[in-house]
């Protein structure tokens, strides 16, 4: 029996060696994170019992400003989707208790705090989402699937109508002005954060969530910080200091509205924010869609030079506060959107994907004066997931970025070639080089460039095909409908567990495995015969 076990074990080892299977995945660092942002209420309803806590009218799937039922349990139920998509960090909207008031009741309409930014109590979980135990279960489930949790926090304001509530006694401005720090944002009660007592209380409330430990020993990994430029810098320094005291590895990405790499407001500093959301990237992406490749490369190369593994930027195309890029910039041209997504996922910085973008969801931001509700905050359309080619494109590009994360998160950038349809650029880190071809047109494009690699054996990571090169590299870049993307790398830098297509590989594989099994069976029969004798 022991001999039989040894034969089986040896056979298994041979198959593993041949197929180059790898079970290990290296740890993702801060600048390598791929962030997926959801409005929790709009993702998935996993617990029907918490839907109508403020009355039946508060829960209305047909109204964009009412509750839609999404909760922590819903994320837990759909964690396999997030894992298969490949993202490394999940950013969720604020988790604290929000006001119960319908802010448009007086005009016979609806507008509730489903989004989480109108706090009533910073020490409690909003019951629509679940409770503290469920939040910690979510942290553990995500961790089990290789995903960190980022929670949105607000220190600038509370919800409407909170001015005279005892938990906020003497914390709000009585005479706000029109400045960024001492003014009221959209009429929301503004905290006097420059006063030590007010600041300390807010920091205590929010740092509690960063220090909460799950049953499996996990914690919330990151904060996304709301309305950064509307709070004084001393508050952010004290907040960061307290968070680091609790967890030295904790990081924060801030929302400085309209920020870009040259316009950070001084907040992009390791004493405050470790990253900022890049509001300019969508403009660069739009410029790419119009074929302004030299301008795109110039801006991204400059941006590239200003960020590093500790101080970075999060590039996004759409958000809960912005018009959907696909609808408003590309007129719902999903095919053109694919190479735009490739640009986002091959750019230095932290890609931030807004929920639903990967299935083609996109809409206008709210404009109540003109009767437009938050079309960019629809419930996730789960019926669009299956056999979605755009989703497949996202999965491919995320896999490629994770596989070559050192180059994409740290490497330099140089333009190699461009014409009216195709943009070719090199990302290089150390001796490793990756050349990406992006085709925005609806036709395949044949491109020939000088071979910048120290190899003739290349792999197109997007199509998983080998390419033989000489002094030049000839590439047929697929049309945008087919992804519009080619990602070339020296074959020596391709992980052994990444399956590359070969015309003959499947035949050899079957022949090899068959022979291994046949030899094992023959050995087994010989041993069995000897034992009988």
**Who's near 522: CB < 8 A, 6+ residues apart?**
none
Asked whether residue 339 carries a pLDDT value surpassing 70, the answer given is yes
Q: Report pLDDT for 227.
A: 98
Answer for the pair 16, 332: CB distance below 8 angstroms, yes or no.
Answer: no
User: pLDDT (tens digit, 9 = 90+) per residue, 481-528?
Assistant: 999 999 999 999 999 999 998 634 444 445 555 667 777 667 766 666
Q: Report pLDDT for 17.
A: 39
Rounded to an integer, the average pLDDT of 453-465 is 97
Mean pLDDT of the chain: 93
| Superfamily covering domain 412-493 | Golgi alpha-mannosidase II (2.60.40.1180)
Q: Report pLDDT for 501.
A: 86
Asked whether residue 191 carries a pLDDT value surpassing 60, the answer given is yes
Q: Quick one: fold of 34-230?
A: TIM Barrel (3.20.20)
Between CA 440 and CA 477 the distance in angstroms is 10
Cα torsion angle, 331, 335, 339, 345, sign: positive
Percent of the residues in the chain that have a pLDDT greater than 70, as a whole number: 90
Q: Report pLDDT for 2.
A: 53
Percent of the residues in the chain that have a pLDDT greater than 90, as a whole number: 89
Q: Report pLDDT for 58.
A: 98
Q: Rounded to two decimals, what is the model's pTM?
A: 0.90
**Where in the chain are the domains?**
34-230, 412-493, 505-532
Asked whether residue 405 carries a pLDDT value surpassing 50, the answer given is yes
Tokens for 5, please give them. 């076990």
Of 213-217, 260-264, 501-505, which gets the smallest average pLDDT? 501-505
Q: Report pLDDT for 22.
A: 32
Rounded to an integer, the average pLDDT of 305-319 is 97
Q: Report pLDDT for 190.
A: 98
Any alpha helices (H) in 371-424, and if so which ranges? 389-403, 405-410
Asked whether residue 3 carries a pLDDT value surpassing 80, the answer given is no
Rounded to an integer, the average pLDDT of 113-136 is 98
Q: Report pLDDT for 531.
A: 64
Q: What is the 8-class DSSP label of residue 470?
A: S
Q: How does residue 16 score in pLDDT terms, banded at 50, 70 and 90?
A: very low
Q: Report pLDDT for 505.
A: 41
Q: What is the 8-class DSSP label of residue 486?
A: E
Residue of 317, 318, 313 whose CA lies nearest to 300: 313
Q: Report pLDDT for 111.
A: 98
Asked whether residue 532 carries a pLDDT value surpassing 90, the answer given is no
Between CA 483 and CA 437 the distance in angstroms is 11
Q: How does residue 193 score in pLDDT terms, banded at 50, 70 and 90?
A: very high
Of 14-28, 59-73, 178-192, 410-424, which gets the smallest average pLDDT? 14-28
CA distances from 167 to 125, 126, 198, 226, 518 (A): 15, 16, 11, 21, 75
Between CA 337 and CA 482 the distance in angstroms is 11
* Distance separating the N- and C-terminal Cα atoms of the chain: 16
Between CA 246 and CA 207 the distance in angstroms is 8
Rounded to an integer, the average pLDDT of 26-32 is 89
Rounded to an integer, the average pLDDT of 50-74 is 97
Q: Report pLDDT for 522.
A: 72
User: pLDDT (tens digit, 9 = 90+) per residue, 348-357?
Assistant: 999 999 999 9
Rounded to an integer, the average pLDDT of 230-246 is 98
């Amino acid at each position: 029996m022991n001999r039989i076990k040894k034969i089986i074990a040896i056979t298994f080892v041979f198959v593993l060696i041949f197929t180059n299977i790898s079970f290990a995945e290296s740890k993702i660092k801060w600048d390598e994170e791929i962030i997926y942002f959801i409005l929790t209420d709009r993702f998935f309803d996993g617990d029907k019992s918490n839907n109508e806590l403020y009355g039946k009218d508060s829960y209305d799937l047909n109204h964009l400003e009412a509750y839609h039922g999404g909760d922590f349990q819903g994320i837990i139920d759909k964690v396999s989707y997030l894992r298969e998509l490949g993202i490394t960090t999940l950013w969720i909207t604020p988790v604290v208790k929000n006001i119960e008031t319908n802010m448009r009741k007086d005009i016979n309409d609806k507008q509730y705090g489903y989004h989480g930014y109108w706090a009533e109590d910073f020490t409690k979980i909003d019951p629509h989402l679940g409770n503290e135990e469920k939040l910690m279960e979510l942290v553990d489930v995500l961790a089990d699937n290789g995903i960190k949790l980022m929670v949105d926090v607000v220190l600038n304001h509370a919800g409407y109508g909170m001015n005279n509530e005892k938990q906020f006694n003497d914390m709000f401005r009585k005479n706000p002005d029109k400045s960024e720090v001492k003014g009221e944002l959209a009429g929301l009660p503004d905290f006097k954060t420059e006063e030590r007592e007010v600041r300390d209380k807010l920091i205590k409330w929010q740092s509690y969530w960063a220090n909460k430990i799950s049953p499996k020993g996990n914690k919330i990994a990151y904060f996304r910080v709301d309305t950064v430029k509307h709070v004084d810098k001393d508050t952010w320094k004290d907040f960061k200091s307290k968070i680091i005291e609790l967890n030295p590895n904790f990081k924060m990405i801030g929302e400085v509205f309209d920020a870009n790499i040259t316009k950070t407001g001084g907040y992009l500093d390791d004493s405050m924010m470790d990253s900022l959301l890049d509001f300019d990237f969508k403009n660069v992406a739009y410029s790419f869609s119009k074929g302004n490749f030299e301008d795109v490369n110039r801006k991204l190369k400059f941006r590239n030079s200003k960020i590093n593994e500790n101080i970075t930027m999060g590039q996004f195309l759409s958000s809960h506060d912005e018009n959907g890029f696909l609808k408003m910039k590309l007129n719902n041209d999903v095919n053109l959107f694919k190479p735009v997504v490739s640009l986002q996922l091959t750019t230095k910085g932290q890609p931030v994907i807004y929920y639903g973008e990967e299935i083609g969801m996109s809409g206008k931001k709210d404009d109540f004066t003109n009767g437009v509700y938050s079309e960019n905050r629809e419930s996730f359309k789960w019926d669009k997931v299956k056999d979605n080619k755009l989703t497949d494109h996202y999965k491919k590009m995320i896999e490629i970025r994770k596989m070559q994360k050192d180059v994409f998160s740290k490497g330099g950038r140089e333009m190699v070639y461009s014409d009216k349809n195709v943009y070719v650029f090199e990302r290089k880190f150390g001796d490793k080089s990756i050349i990406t071809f992006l085709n925005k047109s609806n036709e395949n494009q044949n491109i020939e460039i000088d071979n910048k690699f120290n190899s003739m054996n290349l792999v197109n990571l997007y199509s998983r095909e080998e390419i033989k090169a000489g002094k030049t590299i000839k590439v047929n870049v697929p049309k945008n409908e087919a992804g519009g993307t080619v990602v070339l790398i020296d074959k020596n830098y391709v992980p052994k567990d990444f399956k590359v297509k070969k015309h003959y590989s499947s035949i050899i594989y079957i022949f090899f495995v068959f022979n291994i099994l046949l030899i094992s069976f023959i050995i087994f029969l010989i041993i069995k015969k000897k034992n009988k004798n």
